[in-house]
Amino acid sequence: MEKSNCGWAYSDIVKEHFLNPRNFVRDEREVAGADGTGMMGSPACGDVMKMWIWVKDGKIIDCKWMTFGCASAIASTSMLSEMAKGLKIEDALRITPKQIAEKLGGLPAIKIHCSVLGDQALRAAVKDYEARKNGKAK
């Protein structure tokens, strides 16, 4: 606890997304009709991210999330949800953790894993969407 050296070592963009996160789920009922969902991380490691996507004509028309974690975890998922919305699925899958961090105006080195987790949660949601779609096709 003596090590509370985080301060606002974060960029203004991280701060803004942490204090005013976009697209988060307030109530699980909001996500009842989602086309895909993915969850990554573990409470023991200190970060858990869950993402929901709505897809129409191969495009992510909406993207929502819930996050347990530090400021950069919350900001990373918030930013990613903004980035993914409106993208074709194949384009959304091209988003890299590095791009998320860049969009946030950089992340401290020790926090890079936050952007990686967000990216993985989105990929898991897409995979779930595809699995559901393929399931229906059969």
Partner 1 sequence: MKIIYLDNAATTPTSPEVVKAMAPFWSEKYGNPGSLHAKGFEARAALDKAREIAGNRLNCAASEIIFTGSGTESANLALFGFCRKNRQKGNHIITQRTEHHAVLDSCAALEKEGYSVTYLDVDKHGLVCKEQLERAIRKETILITIMYANNEIGTVQDIRGLAETARKHNVVFHTDACQAGGSLDIDVKNLGVDLMTLNGSKIYGPKGTGLLYVRSGIKIQPVIYGGGQENGLRSGTENVAGVVGFATALELAQKEREKESKRLAALRDYLISKVLKEISRTYLNGHPTQRLPNNASFTILDVEGESMILRLSEKGICASTGSACTSRSLEPSHVLQAIGLPKEVAHGSLRFSLGKGTTKADIDYTVKELKRIVEELRKISPIKINESVMKGR
Contact residues for partner 1, defined by CB under 8 A: 1-6, 8, 18-19, 21, 24-26, 39, 42-50, 65-71, 73-74, 110-111, 113
User: How far apart are alpha carbons 60 and 54 in whole angstroms?
Assistant: 6
Return the number of the residue (13 or 25) whose C-beta is nearest partner 1: 25
* Beta-carbon contacts of residue 21 (< 8 Å; ≥ 6 apart): 74, 75, 77, 78
Could you give the CA distance from residue 125 to residue 11 in angstroms, rounded to a whole number? 28
State both tokens at 121: 């949660």
Instruction: Determine whether 70 is an active site residue.
Output: no
Tell me, yes or no, if 114 is annotated catalytic. Answer: yes
CB closer to partner 1, 35 vs 47: 47
Of 45 and 131, nearer to partner 1 (C-beta) is: 45
Catalytic residues: 45, 114
